[in-house]
Amino acid sequence: MNGLNSALNWTFDLVLAPLDRLGVAWSLIVVSGIFGVLALVAFKHISSQRRIKAVKDKLKGHVIAIRIFQDDLRVVGGSVVKILGRNFQYLGLNFGPFLPLALPFVFVAAQLVVRYAYSPAPVTQVTTGLLAGSGTLLEVQLARGSEGRVKELVVQLPEGVVALSPLVRVPAEGRAFQEIAAVSPGVHQLRLSIGNVVETKSFCAGGDGLRAMQPRRVNSSEWYALHDPEHWPALWPAEPGFPSDSPFRAVAVAYPDRDLGWLPGGEGGILLVFVLASMAFGLVALKPLGVQI
C-alpha cells in the first residue's frame, strides 16, 4: 500500500503542478472533471454498450405502448410489468461496471482530500503567552492488544513545537492526548516511542504552500478494518502507514479546515465538489464520447 500511495503522490504532484496557476478552487474542479471524463471512458470499455442501448430502446417502446393503448388495461398492465423488469436489467448493466471504478474513486478522492481539505496549524508567538485550548490536539491510539502499553508511551516534540498540556493517557482505551502548538513554521516531526519502537508523525504549521498534509497516520494492517474507514491507509496517502506489527494504530493531529472561498471546505466539502464536478464533466462529455449509460 505504501508503494502504491507513493506512486500516486508522485503522479498527482506532476499533474497538479501546471494547475496551480488556476488557484485551489479551480484546480480542484478541473482535476475532478478530468477524473469524471476518464471514468466515463473506462465505463464505455468495461460495460456492454450494445445491451444497455437495447434495454433503453425496449423501455422506450413499453412507455410508448402505454401512451398509445392507455385504454387497454391488459396492454398497460403488461407494459408496466415489463418496464419494472427492464429497469432491474438496466440497473444491473450499469451498476456492475461501476463497481471496478469504485477503487480508483477512493484513491483519487484521498489524494484530493490530503491536498485541499486542510490548512496547516497556526504558528503562535511564544511572547503572547500560550494557554490551554489555543493549540492543536495530538491523539495517539494504540493497536488492538497493545492498549496497556500506553503507559510506556513517550512523546518528544521537536524544536519549534511546544506542549500546552501534559500527556494524558487512557489505559483502558489505549489512547493518549496532548495539546501542542507550533512556534515556528515548517513540517515538524513528532517522535513517539514505546519501548524500542519509534515512530513519527508530521505536523505542518504556517503557510499554505505545502503540497499535501494529512491529519492521521495509520497502521497498514487497518486496510482490512472495513467497519472503520477513517483508519484505512488508502485514505491517508501523504504519509506511509505504520508497519503492521507496530503497537501504534493511529496518530492524529487536528488540522483546521482549509478556506476554499466559494467552495465548501473540509473533507465533506472536497468529496462533494469531487462528486459533483466529475458528474458534471461526465454529462457534458457523454454524447461526444458516444457513451450509453
If you ran DSSP here, which 8-state letter would residue 271 be given?
Answer: H
φ/ψ bin of 82: left (φ > 0), alpha (ψ from -120 to 50), beta (otherwise):
alpha
Residue 170 belongs to a domain = yes
Residues 187 and 222 reside in one and the same domain? yes
Alpha helices in the chain (DSSP H): 2-16, 24-46, 49-68, 73-116, 266-289
Q: Can you tell me the distance from the alpha carbon of 204 to that of 201, in angstroms, rounded to the nearest whole number? A: 10
Q: Can you tell me the distance from the alpha carbon of 90 to that of 293, in angstroms, rounded to the nearest whole number? A: 9
In this structure, what are the phi and psi dihedrals at residue 205, rounded to the nearest 5 degrees? Answer: -140, 140
Domain membership of residue 82 as a residue range = 2-117+268-289
Cell numbers given for 76 = 398497460
Residue 262 belongs to a domain = no
| pLDDT score recorded for residue 197 | 94
User: Residues 75-124: pLDDT tens digits?
Assistant: 778 888 888 888 888 888 888 887 888 888 888 999 999 999 999 999 88
| pLDDT score recorded for residue 224 | 46
Residues 130 and 232 reside in one and the same domain? yes
Residues 24 and 133 reside in one and the same domain? no
Are the beta carbons of 288 and 44 closer than 8 angstroms? no
Closest CA to 137 of 86, 91, 203: 203
| Predicted confidence pLDDT, tens digits, the chain (293 residues) | 667 778 888 888 888 888 888 888 899 999 999 999 999 999 988 888 888 888 888 888 888 888 888 877 887 788 888 888 888 888 888 888 878 888 888 889 999 999 999 999 998 876 455 566 678 999 999 988 899 999 999 999 999 999 999 999 999 999 999 999 999 999 999 999 999 999 999 999 987 656 788 999 998 775 544 445 565 666 788 898 898 889 999 999 999 998 888 888 888 899 999 999 999 999 999 888 888 88
Residues 88 and 206 reside in one and the same domain? no
Residues 83 and 112 reside in one and the same domain? yes
Residues 91 and 170 reside in one and the same domain? no
Residue 280 belongs to a domain = yes
- Domain count across the chain: 2
Residues 45 and 164 reside in one and the same domain? no
| pLDDT score recorded for residue 196 | 92
Residue 109 belongs to a domain = yes
Residue 263 belongs to a domain = no
Residues 57 and 93 reside in one and the same domain? yes
| pLDDT score recorded for residue 226 | 46
Residues 7 and 91 reside in one and the same domain? yes
Residues 248 and 143 reside in one and the same domain? yes
Residues 144 and 244 reside in one and the same domain? yes
Global confidence as pTM: 0.81
Residues 183 and 272 reside in one and the same domain? no
Q: Can you tell me the distance from the alpha carbon of 140 to that of 168, in angstroms, rounded to the nearest whole number? A: 10
